[in-house]
Structures are given as structure tokens and as C-alpha cells.
Structure 1
């Protein structure tokens, strides 16, 4: 049998050997905690960006739809104004044709020396032919250097022609507004695609395990998101 002192010696000597192991374990655990904290922050950022970008994507699609609707309305208003202008212009042409017929009969009566018929026609000249005819006579009538007819006088203005000009101008304005609205709708459509790209990069960043790749994807998504927010701030809104 060995002495008790010899049997206890290995036990005493084994205690120092276990201490470095526990120290190494503690060091490794601390490193894992640091890595887990960093990964948790990146995941939190990814989730927040995904949530915000989803809302911005929906808002951009809503704005694209609203501006597209405004474009359609403006085009319809422009078309209606064009039709109104054409209708007023046709009415004015018909009215002027009647005036020309009356005045031609007056010229024929004057040429035939029928003063009674001429006076009868003049008394029944409608406006603005009546005023233009008086101005034409005051300007020299059939004499050389005078205007060719009352229809060349500044006082001969048909209301239908004015209405047609106003409707035509309104149609041009609405057409230009429709083009602007169309461009704004396209801008918001592009912005929707941009935010969709941000969602893609954020989703990929949440799936990739490599820390460097995750950082690159997350950074790219954040940059694109910042650009999209700046554009969204600059674009006009329609509610």
C-alpha cells in the first residue's frame, strides 16, 4: 500500500490545470455575447427598415394611382373642351354664313338701285353685323382703300368665336396639366420600384449569415432608402 500523502498528491496537482479551462470558457462566452449583440442590432435595424419601407412603398403606389387618375381626368376635360370649342366654332360659322347671305342681298339691292329693299335689309341686320356695317360705311364703304366688307371690321365679333377660343385655350391648359400629371405618376411608379429594391436588400440581409455580406446588403438598402425618402419629400403630393 502507498502512503496517503502520495495518493493525495495528484489530486492537489490537478486543481491548477482546470483553472485555465474555465477562464478560456468565460472568454469564449464573452465573445459570443458580443457577436450576438451585434447581430441583434443588425436584425433590429433590418426589421425597422422593412416596416418603414413597406409603408413608403404603399404610399408611393397610392400617389402613382392618384396622379394617374388626375391625368385621366385632365385628358377627359381637355377632350370635352375641344368638343365644346368645335361646337361653338361650328355655330359661329353657321351664324356668319347667314350674315354673309344677308349682306350679299344688300349689296345686290344696292347694285340694282333698290333702295327700299336695301333699307329693309339694313334694318334687319342682326348684331354684330349691324354695328360692323355702320362702321364699314363710316370707314368709306365701297370706296377705294376702305375695308373689303363689314366682316373685316374689328367690331364684327361673334360670341361663339369667343367661346370657341376660350374653350380651346382651356383644352390646351388641361392637356398640359394631363402631361404634368402623367409625369408625376411615372415618378411615383419609379419610386415604388426603388422602395421595392430596398425591401429586397433588407430581406436578403435578414437571410444572409455572413457578417460582411449582411453589412453590404444592409448598407445598400439604407442608401437606396435614403435616396427614396429624399425624392419622396421633393415630389408633390395628391390626397
Structure 2
């Protein structure tokens, strides 16, 4: 397969995080003949989720065919907003840890905020990461670093300033793959189920055991297999 615009796969990272979270998955995608396009978000001019979608669009915008888009956690909200705002740029949408309607439990919500608290001890910070992002028994130490509190604050405000209805269905045309961890406490599995039920034939749902909100470091092989099978049909 020749890597060109039709085989590009954009990767949109989680809240306050960067595309290196996708390193293993991008390697799998590249090995299958696709061209990974990591998208790094900035705080510049960001007021709403639409502004973050515009940053992703800028990374993709050219005269070639539309690209596949993969978003993790906050990145999946941006991916859906991108598909709604710029349908001509999006060939398919893959959502990892899709949230937005079914809220996190209180303990997980507090832990998510604490992931960005630089005043915490190393042990307390790692405990917050484990609670918010990882299934019981999975090693949270792989995500001990990589937390950008300034970026997260701006992104979270952008989410609050944007109606869920603007992005929830990922537009109305692109096929959608939802990969959801059954131990996800920040974006509980009900989110993915509700979305797939709402948009019907456009969507496919894959639920993974022993996976929380982090997903990527917890079930890398299963995620790669599901994504590549989906991309082969789009």
C-alpha cells in the first residue's frame, strides 16, 4: 500500500497529553502500510472544542482524499467534532475510551484532576493515574509522566464551552469504530453503547476486558487488531 492522503491515519491524544501515547499503535499502523499523522494540540486561540478540531483539520488539510482519524479520550471528542465540522477531511473515525454523556464516578473524576497536580508526591500521583486510567492490576507506571496541566486546563474549558450535541454523533457520514474498556471509570462503557445505538449502521462497538481509560498501554494488541480490521473495510 502506498502511503498518501487516502492512507493517512491521524492520532489525536487524550486530555493534556501528547501523541507519543500512540507510539505502539502508530508502529502497527505503519507496518500495515498506513501513514501515521500524530497531532499535537496547543493552547493558542482555543476557546471551544471547535478550535481544537480546527487544529486537527490544519494538520490534515490538503487536496487529497480524506484521512482516517483516531481519537483517545478527549481526543475522541475532538475527532467527532472534526468529523462534524470538516466531513470532507474525514474518511473514518475511531474512538478510544469514548465519553461525553455517562459521567465518571466521583472518585475517578477527582483522580483525573489529580493526575495534573504537580504538588502530589510521586506515590500519590501514581495512585491517581491508576484510579483514573487503569484497570485493576494493570501497571500505571507507564503513564507516570506526560501530563501537561496548562494544556489540560485549556482543553477542559473548551469542552465545557461546547454543546455535546455539536460533536456527539461524529457528523453524519463517516463510519465509526468505538473501542471501549470495560473497566473505564472516567468514560464508562455506557457511553460507547449509547453512541452506537444512536448512530446505528455507521458504527461498530468493540469492548475490551482488563482495560480502563488509558486503553492504549493496557490492550495494545487487541486495539491494533480491531483498528486495522476496521481500516481495511473503510
Larger radius of gyration: 1
TM-score, with length taken from structure 2: 0.17
Greater fraction of residues in helix: 1
Tell me which protein shows more strand as a share of its residues. 2
TM-score by length of 1: 0.17
